[in-house]
Amino acid sequence: MFSPGDNYKDITIVEFVGAGGQGEVYRVEVGGRSMALKVFYQKYSEPDDERRLRVLVDKKLHTLSALLRAAPQRVVHIGSRLAHLSEFISGPSLE
Confidence of residue 19 (pLDDT cuts 50, 70, 90): very high
Measured from the Cβ of residue 11, the count of other Cβ atoms closer than 10 Å reads: 20
How is residue 48 annotated by DSSP?
Answer: H
CB 36 within 8 A of CB 28: yes
Kindly state the average pLDDT of the residues 61-65: 56
Scored b (16 or more CB within 10 A) or e, 26-55 reads: bbbebeeeebbbbbbeeebbeeeeeeebee
What mean pLDDT value characterizes the chain? 81
Can you tell me whether residue 84 is helix, strand or coil? strand
pLDDT of 60: 62
Confidence of residue 14 (pLDDT cuts 50, 70, 90): very high
